[in-house]
Chains A and B, each alone.
Chain A
């Protein structure tokens, strides 16, 4: 069974641009969550989706948004990029709320 797949692996953008990251969960998993990892702030929760509905949202500005499609694939979007948005963005999927989370290898975003 394929694991969680995130694309692209690396991305370079400039300030003010917007970016879309993609996450394909493990087959059968309906919950997808996103995390931001930076050297300074560590790992922080962005949001969680279940069956196309956002169930939880972390403490991030409205520039960060996401969605989930009917096939459980998820995208997150960051608009008006800032230098501080440079980070590793990790996606995780699970069968449900009490189940284990499985992570992808992340998308490394660099904002210049």
Chain B
């Protein structure tokens, strides 16, 4: 079974600075997807960024980028120019490719990110 580990329960950063959230995963599959989701106090899970394992290029979405190291099974999220609205719980998640397994998200335990003004 796949597992996802987020080793940082809490992180804080000054507004406008850069922060990196860590995530490692374990799998024997070769084709899969990795995600970062954000959960603000409203509780809705919002997709921040998605990475397909077969793509070597790291995904980027505006101020959000990932460092995907497939061999090391590492998938970190970098938030640049942090804004107060970035404060939330961040979850790293894994999903098998359709041909390989169940279409479910396996989540890490989350990292609570605080932005200091």
**Chain A interface residues (CB < 8 Å from chain B):** 31, 33, 35, 42-45, 48, 55-56, 58, 88, 90, 92, 97-98, 100-106, 108
Q: Note all chain B residues with C-beta closer than 8 A to A98.
A: 97-98
Q: How far is the CB of B66 from chain A (nearest CB, A)?
A: 15
Q: Note all chain B residues with C-beta closer than 8 A to A100.
A: 47, 50
User: Does B109 have its Cβ within 8 Å of any Cβ on chain A?
Assistant: yes
Dominant secondary structure at the A interface: strand
**When chains A and B are docked, how far (Å) is the Cα of A58 from the Cα of B107?**
13
Q: Which candidate, B38-46, B57-65, B74-82, is the interface stretch facing chain A?
A: B38-46
Q: How far is the CB of B95 from chain A (nearest CB, A)?
A: 8
User: Does B68 have its Cβ within 8 Å of any Cβ on chain A?
Assistant: no
Cβ 8 A contact of B45, one of A42, A56, A103, A108: A103
B104→A105 contact, CB < 8 A: no
B44→A104 contact, CB < 8 A: yes
Q: How far is the CB of A25 from chain B (nearest CB, A)?
A: 14
